[in-house]
Amino acid sequence: MQKPQLLGPVMATPNGTVVHPAYFLLVGIPGLGPNTHFWLAFPLCLMYALATLGNLAIVFIIRIERRLHEPMYLFLAMLSTIDLVLSSVTMPKMASLFLTGIQEIEFNVCLAQMFLIHALSAMESAVLLAMAFDRFVAICHPLRHASVLTGPTVTKIGLAALTRGFTFFFPLPFILKRLSYCQTHTVTHSFCLHQDIMKLSCTDTTVNVVYGLFIILSVMGVDSLFIGFSYILILRAVLELSSRGAALKAFNTCISHLCAVLVFYVPLIGLSVVHRLGGPTSLLHVMMANIYLLLPPVVNPIVYGAKTKEIRSRVLHMFSQGGR
């Protein structure tokens, strides 16, 4: 089959010409050969199956169980929906790359994937912040919890998370389209990220650098600060409880959320730091990006399923019914 031309149409601009490639080339894991990539596709497919089934099960259980129509579980359903879409945006294409070795991804498809990855990550960050606020109110102001986090309020928070993620990251494809790509067209990950595409440009990327840093700090940075502040207040309230048993019980309700926060933010912060330090993309860059995008959709349903009694009992009931 004939390969498409690497360079796409050249568009005239007042400052010269803007060269867009017809496609970018994705890369798997540096240092691994085609055979290793082929076999890695199978655990990746298993991870995708676990992420899909786990998140669908959580959304389905929360949907049909009326007693789970509480803020904590509604936010969990939002988190599972985001993880479901995020895993579908990244894992199938990555598995196809490993299985077939076909590296090409069309320019506009790459930009669309990049936008969805970043926007969905911002939405997940907002939902994690909302869940931290829910735990803060439930532990520090339990009598006001029902009046503060009403059904309409939870809906508005979900819509705000959706709107903010879309609004902040919608300009990214357009500021990448204003750049010329006349050097290498190899993206050094198995998916498209803003920092990675930006580095392929042979024109000035100041706008991209400044805007990228601005949205990381104003979205994920602000969210992480508020989550940390919420847990400082939660910890202070827990330590003030007279009964040790009551303190452990109160803090135990936060364990699942803390795991989700750590799985999401630790790789994100590490990835942001290594990208900002510059230099050639290394195995560390790639592995941290893979952990950041692939791990949360798989781990979150397992953690919440194991730690949440209502979800765990419902899943066990579904399996017992299916085994009859």
Q: Compute the average pLDDT of residues 303-307.
A: 83
Distance CA 54, CA 70 (A): 20
Give residue-wise pLDDT tens across range 232-251. 999 998 888 777 877 788 88
Q: Which two tokens stand for residue 145?
A: 């919890």
| Residues 6 or more apart in contact with residue 253 via CB below 8 angstroms | 135, 138, 139
pLDDT of 323 reads: 54
Residue 276: predicted pLDDT:
62
Q: Which residue has the tokens 């979800």?
A: 311
279 vs 246: which has the higher pLDDT: 246
Average pLDDT over residues 246-273: 84
Mean pLDDT of all residues in 300-322: 78
Q: Which residues of 18-44 are buried (b: 16+ CB within 10 A; e: fewer)?
A: bbbbbbbebbbeeeeeeeebeebbeeb
Res 46 pLDDT > 50: yes
